[in-house]
Structure 1
Amino acid sequence: LWLWPTCWWELNVNSFVLMDNPSALCFLLYFCLGLLSIITVCGNLLVILTIMYFRQLHTPTNYLILSLAVADLLVGFVVFPLTIEFSFSSCRFEKDLFCQIRSTFDKSLCTSSILQLCCISIDRYYAICHPLTYKMTITVRVAGVMMFVTWSVAAMIGIGIVLGGYSYGTCEETCSVNVVLSNVTGPVFAFFMPAFIMLCIYMKIFFVAQSQRNSIQISISSTVSKTERKATKTLAIVMGVLHFPECMHFSPFNKI
């Protein structure tokens, strides 16, 4: 019954009834989801092995990328299969512990991926905007603290959203309060705030990069201009020295 659960349910008036056979569209949907899961696992596993194998890649930036790859790997290895096995509709109408576990993993790992991207944007900000102090500021220890905080916050957000009744659950006296808190605090801290931070950071990086490019172009133009003037003077002197004998040969004073 749990295999392809969404495809076994059909909306009838205001309730769901069990169907005899799943639709072809559902099979296609889950096939694509399974294929996406395999691609996600293989791609992120390759990134993890590459960073772990090559010692020259053991840098704070790559450690953050490694942490992001682990989060995405778990999304493909855990969240996608659990989504196929325990779909949203089944968890909505057949609530049990496994559905809560699936939802917790789903929200925690997806939140972790977004927060990891936010940490990488902070790392890139210091690398581009403060290159002289970057190595002293973003160390391996700092990267480790960022990863620990990211995973901890993601776990708390995921568990908090599920316990708050964001996905499903019977309403109690505090149901409306829990739903409001989970609907507001969950998306804000799990998506909107990290996305806003990343947007601001990358906009700052863009403007700094533009300023650096303009400075480099002005410096190059100034250097080229000075070089061209020196080359012109040198060429004039050389040409003058080479043609001086000819000028003296054809000079009218030689006829005297």
Structure 2
Amino acid sequence: MKIVIVLCLLPLLALSSCALSEDLSPPPDGKTVKIAVVKPADVDILPMDVIYRSEKCRDKIFTSTGAITSRAGYHLLTVPFNPEKGNNIVSNNIALDGGGKCGWTLSNIRFQFKFSDMTKFGADIKKNISNDIVFVFDKNAPPRGDGHYENILSDIVIKQDYYPLIRNDRMIDHAKILRLINKDMLTYKVSDSKSILFEPNVHSDKVVNVLGPEKFGEDSITTYPDGTQTTNAKGPDPLNFEKLKLIK
């Protein structure tokens, strides 16, 4: 059980209600949602960030004018995925009702995933950037996104294609950066789902290389796995994911 400790300081400095020290206490017979992932062999599935919110125990915040207002309080848990026996699925069950004196309810779940070994794509790669997926269960804003969700109204299997992109930044980072990419930013609004299975199809052999310019105004060059290239002086071209799918 996770305990969040909040210290009450001077009234004008305390932005969090002391009620937020209340524990989560999900009812033993409460509803849950199972989040499961078919784990690719060369990808790490990172723990879930699970946020519960409470209208009863609200956070005090400053507005841009310096006034004090409030918003639904939140309680963050980090929940690991557990491997299932006999398959390559990792999963965990998340309580919809967080319980406790604050009446916590599940707000959103976010987890990230990235390549296990970036050196597989080159010894000179310096960064390994993850991708992510977000599930929203209430009206509160999720950790990221533009407010546009795809609705999930029942149990579902989500299948998405992913590709490795290596960007050689020659102006700012002066480094090669590996990124796990797909076509869409995945944000889902969930209703009445007991089980969600995410199945990323990672095409590790279809590497896209982007050579950044050395000076402002020069072209970025994008090279696809089949050797074809595109150039753009304004930055990397948006990737042609339909083209990637057709490359053997």
**Common topology (TM > 0.5):** no
Higher helix share: 1
Which structure has the larger Rg over C-alpha atoms? Answer: 1
TM bin (shorter chain): under 0.3
Could you say which structure has the higher strand fraction?
2
